[in-house]
Amino acid sequence: MQEFSFTLLNQYKKARLGIVNTLHGQIRTPAFMPVGTRGTVKAMLPQFVKNTGADIILGNTYHLMLQPGAETIAKLGGLHKFMNWHGPILTDSGGFQVMSLSNLRKISENGVTFRSHIDGSKHFLGPENSTEIQYLLGSTITMAFDECTPYPASHEVAKSSMELTSRWASRSRNSFVKRPGFGQFGIIQGSIYKDLRIESIKTLTELDFEGYAIGGLAVGEGQELMLQVLDYSASMLPENKPRYLMGVGKPSDIIGSVQQGIDMFDCVIPTRSGRNGQAFTKYGTVNIRNSKYKEDNQPLDPECKCEACMHYSKAYLHHLVKSKEILGSMLMTWHNLSYFQDLMERIRNYIAEGKDFDFLC
């Protein structure tokens, strides 16, 4: 049976080309993971997502535990079968979502008590049951439960948050059921403070996770500060394990982060932007709602091989989005996911050839 592992194929400067081996298939890295929060990548069928070039998608513990419930999904054969996606699935621990509930949650050493954003019902999420829920879902990659440190945060607040995350990481690791082909990632915290990031890395690497995520970035600190943190922190993580930067999805951020040694990314940007009428292209972003596209018979990108660009004009997409037709969301999302996967493929090719790629976006 396939063991969970990371194979480094080539390295150019700090940028890494590799493969994550899992029970549910291989993940080519650097990789972008489309977000399927509630068991669906919005406006896309699973086979369409696969056709864009995606190897792995992301689901969310918080949303799936509330609706339809982890036990229900387990009874129905697990998340892979439930949503008809047979490749790897990474599930967020739910920590970020419950932390964003603000006045609807109460944090303690044990975990977080919160009220559902759906019906106000009371729930609890901590390291042990977050890990158990992800086990019930059948997640290929389980994330340790953490506290996402807000930005800005004082050194004192960031230190307290990081130390809590470290204690929760140990409990998450102890709760993880190890089996061939499945992995669990610990999450590095510490805000923008180098000493705290170093301490977090030291503590979590001692727990010997199958991979490591860098959390608490892309939360308002700006690209320059984010890359400064990655400059020292990514290279301190084990070379033989994948490195995941959580919630980062702007093309320039992805490129800059790959150059610092990051292997995996996720973000709602391509799907959310698509539903809102924004397309990413090699020539910049396109707001398809703009009236100048009303009679534009050209595709979004003549070099793109996605369904939207191969068969439909900007004029038609303009019409669909302005008319709020569901097909508009589907085609725009399809294009954006294709753009992001094409970007990752081009990055992988440049790393393989030992070439710079900071101009690709």
- In sequence order, the 6+-apart residues with CB closer than 8 A to the CB of 179 are none
Q: Kindly report the number of other CB atoms within 10 A of residue 66's CB atom.
A: 19
Amino acid in the structure at residue 150: P
- Report d(CA 46, CA 52) in Å as an integer: 10
Lookup result for tokens 């901590």: 126
**How far is CA 30 from each of CA 40, 117, 290, 348, rounded to the nearest angstrom?**
23, 34, 34, 7
- Report d(CA 360, CA 320) in Å as an integer: 29
**How far is CA 329 from each of CA 39, 203, 268, 325, 332, rounded to the nearest angstrom?**
18, 44, 14, 7, 5
The angle, 0 to 180 degrees and rounded to 10, between the axes of the packed helices 326-353 and 251-258 is 20
Length of the chain: 361
146 part of the active site: no
Exposed/middle/buried for 115, CB within 10 Å: 0-12, 13-18, 19+?
middle
The single residue of 92, 146, 301, 342 carrying the catalytic annotation is: 92
- In sequence order, the 6+-apart residues with CB closer than 8 A to the CB of 186 are 144, 169, 172, 173, 204, 207, 209, 212, 213
92 part of the active site: yes
- Report d(CA 77, CA 64) in Å as an integer: 14
CB 37 within 8 A of CB 62: no
The single residue of 55, 253, 266, 342 carrying the catalytic annotation is: 266
Q: Kindly report the number of other CB atoms within 10 A of residue 213's CB atom.
A: 29
**How far is CA 163 from each of CA 98, 109, 341, rounded to the nearest angstrom?**
18, 11, 36
Closest to 32 (Cα-Cα) out of 357, 360, 348: 348
Catalytic sites, residue numbers:
92, 266
